[in-house]
Amino acid sequence: MDHEPDAAVGQQHVSAIPAGPTSLPDGAPAREPQRPSTRRRLLIAGVVLVSVSLVAGADVLLASRHSPSDARVTVRAAQTTSLVGSAEAASKDFGRIPRGDVLLDRFDASVFLVRGIDPAQQEMIRRRVAALPVVEAFAYESSAEALEQFRTRFLPYRPDPSGATEQILPASFRVVLQDPSQFAVLLKELCPPGPDGRPDCVEGVDEVTDQHWLAWITFAGPWIHTADAIVALASGVDSARRRAIRGELGALPNVERVDFESKAAARRRLEQTGVSNPATLRDLTFDSFRVRLSVPTRFGELYEGLCSGRWSFTTTPVCKPGIRLVIANPRSVYYGLPR
């Protein structure tokens, strides 16, 4: 249907965007790890996904210190690794971090390092990341590079990113996985459950975040618990092409329901949450279809019908005319859990 969600659905909107690690949903223990200071968490959020800070705003972002309970992802299998040699670690080290669409960076996860980590400890973590078969590639981002990137992406939206310093912004490894659903393996390797059930990150690791979950909770809006995919349309798509895309979606056997949110409706929704910056409203609102699938784990069929390739360090998705990108709900799509 081409309408905005009803009130019952709208009440499910998660306005407080978590900036800390994505802990594992479902069967894993639910207690949250300790958090960095609120000031540092806000800045980390800007680095993890700049739109989190822009859409939610600082006050909303800091309204909750916990991830929503439905963000927990079951670890499907334990996996042990041995440290690899420098040659194998180097083969996966991409060396630089190409940036993607403002809505979604070109990596699947971030491994944030503790402040003041020594070079030997950092190298151990680097090799531990490289040893995981689920890791396709990774790249290191220093505190100085994080600060530069933060300023580049943040300044157009806020004139004074006060508090952003190399001492506050964390260094990190940005990780491309063989498949986004393998985030649970990366998290368990670096932040396994401790004796009390809480994620207990290995020495030198501060937190590990799932980029896809952050993107979903940022842009899903009132459909956060009811949709399995967002099909974001390119700017300037005319009504005829929009109807054609809608028709293609409706013709797919796995598609159960399609809702449309116009750029204007998305703008009104953001304004109601307190967002007023013109640059934010211009760049982060778009026409989109919110798609519910009868079998969410068959999301790949939907994606392959619309796009080829995906965001990674070496690839960029190419979608049908009029489609900007397609984002999945990790909970239902990658982990097969109830919405």
pLDDT, tens digit, for every residue of 170-200? 899 999 999 999 999 999 999 999 888 888 9
Beta bridge mates, 293? 255
Q: Which of 291, 133, 308, 148 is nearest to 223 (CA)?
A: 291
Domain 220-333 class? alpha beta
Cα–Cα distance measured from residue 146 to residue 152, given in angstroms and rounded to the nearest whole number:
10
Domain ranges of the chain: 16-211, 220-333
pLDDT higher than threshold 90 for residue 61: no
Q: Which residue has the higher pLDDT, 25 or 230?
A: 230
Model pLDDT for residues 95-105, shown as the tens digit of each residue: 888 877 777 88
CA-wise closest residue to 184 among 101, 75, 268 = 75
Q: Is 263 exposed, middle or buried (0-12, 13-18, 19+ CB in 10 A)?
A: middle
Give the chain's count of helices (H) and strands (E). Answer: 13, 10
Domain 16-211 top-level CATH class: alpha beta
The answer, yes or no, to whether residue 76 has pLDDT greater than 80, is no
Q: What is the pLDDT of residue 168?
A: 64
d(CA 109, CA 104): 11
pLDDT at 84: 56
Question: Quick one: pLDDT band at residue 13, thresholds 50, 70, 90?
Answer: very low
Q: CB-based contacts of 92: which residues, under 8 Å, 6+ apart?
A: 129, 130, 135, 136, 137, 138
pLDDT at 4 over 50: no
Q: What is the pLDDT of residue 329?
A: 97
The CA R_g of the chain, rounded to the nearest whole Å, is 19
Contact, 261 vs 268, CB < 8 A?
no
16-211 and 220-333 agree in CATH topology: yes
pLDDT for res 268: 95
Could you give the CA distance from residue 214 to residue 222 in angstroms, rounded to a whole number?
A: 15
Which range among 50-54, 64-68, 304-308, 334-338 shows the weakest confidence by mean pLDDT?
64-68
- Percent of the chain residues topping a pLDDT of 70: 69
- Residue 126 neighbours by CB under 8 Å, 6+ apart: 89, 93, 138, 140, 173
| Residue of higher predicted confidence among 27 and 197 | 197
Report the C-alpha gap between 83 and 43 in whole angstroms. Answer: 32
Q: Which residue has the higher pLDDT, 221 or 146?
A: 221
Strand partners, 174: 110, 139
Q: What is the mean pLDDT of residues 139-155?
A: 79
Q: Give the pLDDT band of residue 276 (cuts 50, 70, 90).
A: confident
pTM equals 0.76
Question: Which one of 89-98, 271-280, 321-330 scores highest in mean pLDDT?
Answer: 321-330
